[in-house]
Chains A and B, each alone.
Chain A
């Protein structure tokens, strides 16, 4: 009888001790940060992925990277966010493809206690988001104006003809960059005249055609601002084909490796590079700090500046800002 009480008591004590020991020594559960971006195929987002993965590793968190493979579209993004939320992540970094369309999804996440960061684009009401991080399209446009002015040797009192190639009249990035360009020209370089804008509808062959026609129509053309990748490709080809490299200033946007190479050969005067990797890193950093310690960032809405890459850029900076392809 005594032995039985003793052995039961011993077992009970051991069980309690083991349980306490296990719970006491148990590792903290690893945080999961979900990252729902725009379109996998866009090198901008691929470069973002590089930053996100590096930061997730540094912070010791699990990264769930999701998004449509090629369509930058509300219709495909909303179900992806729903899917991701069903997995109960601790944090969500979201790149909304539409400010109204993704509001409900973001609100759902916040209501479920998920810490939300908005990157690159935003939603209408960001009150309950932890942070918003964007690049600055207007700043990019302004920097492009500066680059063209420098390349053409701008002097007050003279007139310089330039043209702008865009993909569409409504894409917010295009509109932001064009307005930034126009505003800078109006305030600082009144001698620069924007003779025409044309649209390529995402096809570099159309952009090529536009530039060829402009070269005929404006024999005194001094500069071309190619507002995105397809316009940059089409314009670069036109200048090379017509042997006008170095004679017309060409400023492009986005540091595709192919175009960065063309800075070195003089086809591009400058490229305006965004820093998608930095945007991703900061988002993850901020969310993890909030989830672990409850600290909110001192500045909630962050704008990451663009960088102008040109012939004077150091090799180090080229390596830092060129978008990285995963292939």
Chain B
């Protein structure tokens, strides 16, 4: 084959690869984002598409995306993880406890002096998350409790534990606020901060793991046909353990994100987050029956959710009531599920 033909074939397969990663749902989501951006830009009288607002949208996206990613893996296996919000609370509280009660620090340590402690907080949060994931896996594998009930129990237990450890109040510790401040490069203000960039990278890595690795393949297999998966020699129990620990670990990192965002670990940091994570996953095109989903859909679904949240607040032409906001989010979920039902199944 001549060089130019080879190049064309390679370029085509890259293009095909990118195309393939966008299924119908994702394309619809991109279209939705464009429409929302236009609508909000007009109704906010020009302040929606500014780096400030976009920075806030991405900041919110960053808070929830890791939970959505976690939920994606779990839901694709046909399970669900209701404990992710509670894990965010618990991990941020334990991190706060270690820094404030354990090391005796407070919020007067700030700026780059605080960075090593922030990294410690991230490590502690991750470990807490992995532990909660392991507990979930134990309940599901060994005690044979269905994921819905198992993770519901963990939700209750971990929320309670977070309250006990923190005394019900925020544990305010050292924080480097610069980590949450969007970059300004050569005078150009971007809407992305260090924390947002970090979760973007983690999301991309998780996407590659889901779609390009054996682990990802086994995750889909388990959700599609558990029996066939076992027959093929893959241990469902081991896969479940890995998936729920991954979910817990990601939730732990989301807890660290919350700590950095607020400068404190608090038992309410994760309040209600599990519901948004599930909503984002459904909007992103993952079937709650298992076996279907694309990471890019998740990233876009989460972005749509928070574009709506911030957008509605920025509207100037009318006052949007909070209840209307909730209705709109609910309609989005219904629409997303309806679209999914109308699509042909991605793979069999």
Which A residues contact B (CB, under 8 angstroms)? 41-43, 46, 69-70, 169, 196, 198-199, 201-205, 208-210, 212-217, 229-230, 233-234, 236-237, 240-243, 256-259, 261-262, 265, 323, 325-327
Bound complex: CA A153 to CA B304 (Å): 41
Q: Which residues of B contact A41 (CB under 8 A)?
A: 160, 163-164, 168, 267
Would you call B247 an interface residue if the criterion is a C-beta within 8 Å of the partner chain's C-beta atoms?
Answer: no
Known: A43-B169, A70-B159, A258-B172. 11 other contacts (CB 8 A): A43-B168, A46-B168, A209-B60, A210-B313, A213-B313, A217-B316, A241-B261, A256-B169, A257-B169, A323-B169, A327-B101
Q: Which residues of B contact A258 (CB under 8 A)?
A: 107, 169-172, 264
Q: Which stretch (B45-53, B144-152, B222-230) binds chain A?
A: B45-53
Would you call B116 an interface residue if the criterion is a C-beta within 8 Å of the partner chain's C-beta atoms?
Answer: no
- The contact sample of 14 A-B pairs, CB cut-off 8 A, is A41-B164, A43-B168, A43-B169, A169-B323, A198-B313, A198-B322, A202-B268, A205-B258, A205-B261, A230-B268, A241-B177, A258-B169, A261-B172, A325-B169
Bound complex: CA A213 to CA B48 (Å): 10
Interface core residue of B163, B267, B271, B272 (most chain A CB under 10 Å): B271
Bound complex: CA A240 to CA B175 (Å): 10
Q: Which residues of A contact B263 (CB under 8 A)?
A: 236-237, 240
Known interface pairs A216-B47, A258-B264, A261-B107; A70-B160 also in contact (CB < 8 Å): yes
Least distance between A234 CB and chain B CB atoms (Å): 7
Bound complex: CA A312 to CA B55 (Å): 36
Pairwise interchain contact B165-A327, C-beta atoms closer than 8 A:
yes
Pairwise interchain contact A213-B53, C-beta atoms closer than 8 A:
yes
- Encoded as 1 (CB less than 8 Å from any A CB) or 0, chain B from 246 to 280 comes to 00000000000010011110111111110000000
- Which residues in chain B, 98-133, are within 8 Å of chain A measured between CB atoms? 101, 106-108
Would you call B41 an interface residue if the criterion is a C-beta within 8 Å of the partner chain's C-beta atoms?
Answer: no
Q: Which residues of A contact B44 (CB under 8 A)?
A: 217
Q: Which residues of A contact B108 (CB under 8 A)?
A: 265
Q: Which residues of A contact B160 (CB under 8 A)?
A: 41, 69-70
Q: Which residues of B contact A198 (CB under 8 A)?
A: 313, 322
Bound complex: CA A92 to CA B163 (Å): 26
Known interface pairs A201-B272, A203-B271; A241-B167 also in contact (CB < 8 Å): no
Q: Which residues of A contact B136 (CB under 8 A)?
A: none
- Encoded as 1 (CB less than 8 Å from any A CB) or 0, chain B from 39 to 70 comes to 00000100100101101100110010000000
Known interface pairs A201-B271, A202-B272, A258-B264; A216-B50 also in contact (CB < 8 Å): yes
Interface core residue of A217, A242, A257, A265 (most chain B CB under 10 Å): A217
Pairwise interchain contact B272-A216, C-beta atoms closer than 8 A:
no
Q: Which of B47, B52, B167 is in CB contact (< 8 Å) with A43? A: B167
Q: How would you classify the secondary structure of chain A's contact residues: helix, strand, loop or mixed?
A: helix
Known interface pairs A201-B272, A204-B269; A325-B167 also in contact (CB < 8 Å): yes
Q: Whose C-beta in chain A lies nearest to the C-beta of B309? A: A209
Bound complex: CA A262 to CA B258 (Å): 19
Least distance between B48 CB and chain A CB atoms (Å): 9
Pairwise interchain contact B268-A203, C-beta atoms closer than 8 A:
yes
Q: Whose C-beta in chain A lies nearest to the C-beta of B53? A: A216
Q: Whose C-beta in chain B lies nearest to the C-beta of A217? A: B314
Q: Which residues of A contact B106 (CB under 8 A)?
A: 261
Q: Which of B52, B258, B268 is in CB contact (< 8 Å) with A216? A: B52
Pairwise interchain contact B262-A208, C-beta atoms closer than 8 A:
yes
Pairwise interchain contact A217-B313, C-beta atoms closer than 8 A:
yes
Q: Whose C-beta in chain B lies nearest to the C-beta of A233? A: B170
Would you call B236 an interface residue if the criterion is a C-beta within 8 Å of the partner chain's C-beta atoms?
Answer: no
Q: Which residues of B contact A46 (CB under 8 A)?
A: 167-168
Q: Which residues of B contact A196 (CB under 8 A)?
A: 313, 319
Pairwise interchain contact B170-A217, C-beta atoms closer than 8 A:
no
Least distance between A313 CB and chain B CB atoms (Å): 19
Bound complex: CA A299 to CA B167 (Å): 34
Bound complex: CA A256 to CA B100 (Å): 15
Pairwise interchain contact A213-B310, C-beta atoms closer than 8 A:
yes
Would you call B139 an interface residue if the criterion is a C-beta within 8 Å of the partner chain's C-beta atoms?
Answer: no
Least distance between B98 CB and chain A CB atoms (Å): 14
Q: Which residues of A contact B316 (CB under 8 A)?
A: 217
Q: Which residues of B contact A262 (CB under 8 A)?
A: 107, 172
Q: Which residues of A contact B52 (CB under 8 A)?
A: 212, 215-216
Q: Which of B101, B169, B314 is in CB contact (< 8 Å) with A229? A: B169
The 9 closest A-B pairs by CB, nearest first: A325-B167, A41-B163, A258-B172, A216-B52, A327-B167, A41-B168, A203-B271, A212-B56, A237-B262
Bound complex: CA A199 to CA B56 (Å): 16
Least distance between A13 CB and chain B CB atoms (Å): 61
Pairwise interchain contact B56-A256, C-beta atoms closer than 8 A:
no
Q: Which residues of B contact A214 (CB under 8 A)?
A: 313
Known interface pairs A217-B313, A217-B314, A261-B172; A209-B268 also in contact (CB < 8 Å): no
Q: Which of A69, A209, A236 is in CB contact (< 8 Å) with B59? A: A209
Bound complex: CA A229 to CA B163 (Å): 14
Pairwise interchain contact B56-A209, C-beta atoms closer than 8 A:
yes
- Which residues in chain B, 174-189, are within 8 Å of chain A measured between CB atoms? 177, 180-181
Would you call B91 an interface residue if the criterion is a C-beta within 8 Å of the partner chain's C-beta atoms?
Answer: no
Known interface pairs A43-B169, A257-B169; A70-B181 also in contact (CB < 8 Å): no
Q: Which residues of B contact A240 (CB under 8 A)?
A: 177, 263
Least distance between A152 CB and chain B CB atoms (Å): 23
Interface core residue of B258, B261, B323 (most chain A CB under 10 Å): B261
Q: Which residues of A contact B309 (CB under 8 A)?
A: 209
Known interface pairs A213-B53, A216-B47, A216-B314; A208-B261 also in contact (CB < 8 Å): yes
Bound complex: CA A210 to CA B309 (Å): 9
Bound complex: CA A230 to CA B268 (Å): 7
Known interface pairs A203-B269, A204-B266, A209-B59; A42-B314 also in contact (CB < 8 Å): no
Least distance between A50 CB and chain B CB atoms (Å): 12
